[in-house]
Amino acid sequence: MSRIYDALIKLEKKQRANSRSDFAENWTSNRSEPVYLRWKAVSAEHKLVGTVAGLTLVFGFLLLVVVHQLTSRALQSQIHQRALVAAINLSDAAAGHVLGRNRLELHVLVTKYTRLDGSAYAFIEDHKGQIVAHTLPTFPPELAETLTLSERRQVARRVVGFQGKTVYETRAPILEGQVGTARIGVWQESVATEINNALLPIVGIVAGLILAGVILALFFAHGIFRWPAMAGRMSGGELSAVGSQFTE
């Protein structure tokens, strides 16, 4: 046991002396090494790290664009579907009042549907194209549309300009178009605001994942230049020195 203890003490002293001499030798060798060689090694590391970071950022940006586009389309389709359901419900509820010419009830009905978020207007026209109820102070001529019987029977959507803004208008037939049509307009800016509010958390999560990926890529790229030196020191003469001390 005493021989092992003495061997460990000698090894520790030898390692300290070797570390001091290695540091001095490395320092002098680095100073004597040409500047362009040291700069070349540093430049290679920077190039690798920069390349990995650039590729990760490009891939992350493309992923962010794809997620934004797909999610935006899905949300926009959902909003249009919601407007279509509202227009169909309005047409079903207005059928009897249009046949009975109950203008007061029709006015109350269309006013109810303009309370939806982002609604610009709602109106009902009969089979002759005459407006029998609307929610606007004065019905603008740019919203009027001449339809055939086959067109009145179809559910449709169009983009119109109203008060200097863009409106998504959804049309639904009343009793298969034989009585008339019901229309609901939704502001385009309201649709965009709703989509952006829904996309903001998703974009934040994806951006955070991209940033984490860049940091990990930089870490591994930087480690490529450090691991060989660490492996060389671990597999160097220290282990052989320990073995020689025990065999004495």
pLDDT of residue 117: 77
Q: Average pLDDT of 209-217?
A: 77
What global pTM score does this model have?
A: 0.63
- Most trustworthy range by pLDDT among 22-31, 127-136, 202-211: 127-136
Name the CA dihedral angle for 206, 208, 214, 215, rounded to a multiple of 10 degrees.
-160
Backbone region of residue 176 per phi and psi (left: phi > 0; alpha: psi in -120 to 50; beta: other values): left
What residue ranges do the domains of the chain occupy? 22-248
Q: Which two tokens stand for residue 109?
A: 């009905």
The answer for residues whose C-beta is within 8 angstroms of residue 142's C-beta and 6 or more apart is 160, 161, 162
| pLDDT (tens digit per residue) in 108-125 | 899 888 887 788 999 999
**How many residues are there in the chain?**
248
What's the pLDDT tens digit per position in 219-244?
776 666 555 554 455 455 444 444 44
**In CATH, what is the architecture of 22-248?**
2-Layer Sandwich (3.30)
Question: Does residue 36 have a pLDDT over 50?
Answer: no
